[in-house]
Structures are given as C-alpha cells and as structure tokens.
Structure 1
Amino acid sequence: MTFKKLRFLGRGKRSEVYVFKKNNKLYCIKFKRKDSKAVGRLENEAKFLILLNKYKIGPKLIAYGSDFIVYEFVNGNFFIDYLQRSKNPLKIIKQIFAQCFIMDKLGINKEEMHRPLKHIIVFRNSVKMIDFERCHYSDKVHNVTQFFQFLYSRKEELQKKGINLKINYKQLQKYKKEINEKKYKDLIQTSLSSNHK
C-alpha cells in the first residue's frame, strides 16, 4: 500500500502519525517507529478498533497492516485544551464516561484514562478517543475509575466551571464488583453534578 503527500502530524514512543488526503477526505496513517522495539502494537490497535468502532468508539478504521494503520482524521481539540476553554464541559465529560463504561463492559482496558492529555479529541460537541495501541483484555477493568482519577486532579478547575466532583466511593466499589448499567448510572449521578441550569 503506497501513500503520497504525507504531512507529519505527531510522534509517540512507538509510532509516528501522518495526515493525507484522498477523495477530498482527510485520513491519518500511523507507522511503527523504526527505533521502536514494540511488537504487534499497531495490529493490536487495529484489532480493538474493529471491535470498538461497532460502538462508535475511536476513529473509523480504514486499513491496516503489520506496521501501519489508516483511520479517519478527527479534526478537533484535545480534551485537555477543551476543558480549559469550555464554560460547561459536563456534557462532554459524561460522553467520555459513557465510552469508558462500554469498554469496561467489554472487559477492555485502554490504559491511558488517568492521564488522557492527547488521547481524547472533542469536535462538534462529541468525543473521539484515539491511540489504542496499549489496549488489552482484563478481568480488572479500570477505564471509568482512571478517568475519575484524572478529573479529581482537576477538581478545583472543574469547581470554577460550576461542576461538582465528589466521588461516591461506596457506589464506586459497587460498580467495580458488578459492572452494569444501573451501578454505572448510580455512580455518575451521585459523583457528578452541575450548578448550571
């Protein structure tokens, strides 16, 4: 598979990402870095994107090989930048939690939700998670709990925006013991509230 007119977008520990245009649409292609010793990470990401795309999680996967993946380009702002600028980010925060809950139900750990600085993109009042290289199945999923950890580190910033974060640890323990929709809703409703009407 050949690609022309690639524009460099970013570099991570294991891969490099470029943008290209085809039929007036923008796409990303992620290559394995030549100096990376990681094995099978991009194939792993493709495998999980195939599954998670069915739940509208992650950018739409277009193609993949042993050392590359192609997916739709998501044009938006990193969540951390959105959080700083938004006056009321509660709707977006709940969307992120909803996607974390789906991954928890599927028994999948994304492994970056405690510090998702460049792993969540906000566009058109919706959310797209990116970078699923480290995804894996686990009996002890923690996407929801990790995202709570991240928000707690931003608690004062959220309070200034009229969002009250008070983690209900009793409900959190119930959720961790039995991951289902009722336990999830009880956890979110008792841990997050807004002063906005």
Structure 2
Amino acid sequence: MLRGRHSRVVRVGSRAVKVFIPDFNLNFWKEVYFLRELQPYGFVPRLYSYNAQKLEIVMEFIEGDYIKDFEFKSSEEWRVLERCFNACRLLDKLRIQKEEMHRPNRHIIVRNGVPYFVDFERAHYSKRPSNVTQFAIYAGKRLGICFEEIKEILRRYKAMYDEKSFKELLTRLAKKVK
C-alpha cells in the first residue's frame, strides 16, 4: 500500500484502487475528471471505475520504474525523457497544469520504455500552463545543465508555446545525453 497526504493506493491484481480521505472530496473529483479527459492520449493509467460515495478510483496499476531511477545516459533513456516532454507539451496545449512537474520523481512511472503520469488530484486548467518549463528545469538538473543555459529557450517557449522553441529545448537537452 502507498500512502499519500490525500489518499492511499492499494494494488488489487492488475488494478490500483485509490481511496481519498473524506476531507479531500475535491481532489477526488479532479483526479477522476483529468484521468477521463486524458484517457485517449495513452500516458495515464486506464480508468476502470470510480465510486463517489467511497471516494474510490479503480485504475490500471502501472508496474514499472519511477522516473527518479533513470540516469538518462543512454539513447533508450533519452527516448523516455523525450516522451515525457511530449506528454508535458500535450498538457500545455490542452491548457492543463499538472502541478508536479518540477519534482515528478514519483509522478511518472516508466513501463517498457513508456512513461505514465499519475496523480492528477492537483491538476487544473490554466491559461499559462508550465508543464514543459517545470519538467525542463527538473531534467536539466538531472542532466547537469545549468538553468542559465536553457533559460532563454524556456522564456521563448513560455511566451508563445511554439513548436520551434520546444524542439530547440529538446535539441539542447539531447546534447547532454548523446
């Protein structure tokens, strides 16, 4: 069993049952809402059911490694990192702020090279989401890149959310891996 501030997660076979503490009704509904919204994109656990009376969500259990356990020194690990960035970019395009991307150590689980984002209970819509920029700061630290080296690229990306700045950021980070 995993225990967090707002809930606990119990594994039942191939499923995870997340049960929220009664005071966190809003967190429950946010998690349900965003898991439903993001189902078509393939980077969140499959949602099977939820029970509002019990504040319980039944979803796919993702068996894998936490993102914190990766060193990002191989091209295979770079592909995982790139997939994480693509998911962050999609969240930005959808104007969803996940709120955990500056410290995603336990919020991204990698199974067979595919990252899955978990814990959407703090997510919300935002006119100016910062998933890519937050994750870039995290990845930059992990890769040994000084923030000053990517600051201007992130500033341009945040101003326009454009594909050019996003690709430039990935290219800059990839140099540290390859």
Q: TM-score w.r.t. structure 1 length? A: 0.80
* Larger fraction in helix: 2
Q: Does 1:114 align with 2:102?
A: yes
**Aligned residue number for residue 62 of structure 1:** 48
Q: Does 1:101 align with 2:89?
A: yes
Does the Cα contact within 8 Å between 2:18 and 2:56 map onto a contact in 1?
A: yes
Letter in 1 for 2:120: F
Letter in 2 for 1:186: E
Alpha-carbon separation, structure 1, partners of 2:156 and 2:168? 10
**Aligned residue number for residue 11 of structure 2:** 19
Q: CA deviation at 1:195?
A: 5.4
Q: Look up the SS of the partner of 1:132 in the other structure.
A: coil
**Aligned residue number for residue 26 of structure 2:** 40
Q: Does 1:182 align with 2:174?
A: no
Query: Is the radius of gyration larger for structure 1 or structure 2?
Result: 1
Alpha-carbon separation, structure 2, partners of 1:133 and 1:109? 11
Q: Does 1:78 align with 2:57?
A: no
Q: CA deviation at 1:30?
A: 0.4
Q: Look up the SS of the partner of 1:190 in the other structure.
A: helix
Structure 2 residue runs of 5 or longer lacking an equivalent are none
Count of residue correspondences:
174
Q: Look up the SS of the partner of 2:175 in the other structure.
A: strand
Alpha-carbon separation, structure 2, partners of 1:68 and 1:15? 9
**Aligned residue number for residue 170 of structure 1:** 152
Does the Cα contact within 8 Å between 2:18 and 2:57 map onto a contact in 1?
A: yes
Q: CA deviation at 1:192?
A: 3.1
The alignment yields a C-alpha RMSD, in angstroms, of 2.1
Q: CA deviation at 1:165?
A: 8.7
Does the Cα contact within 8 Å between 2:15 and 2:59 map onto a contact in 1?
A: yes
Does the Cα contact within 8 Å between 1:166 and 1:192 map onto a contact in 2?
A: no
Q: TM-score w.r.t. structure 2 length? A: 0.88
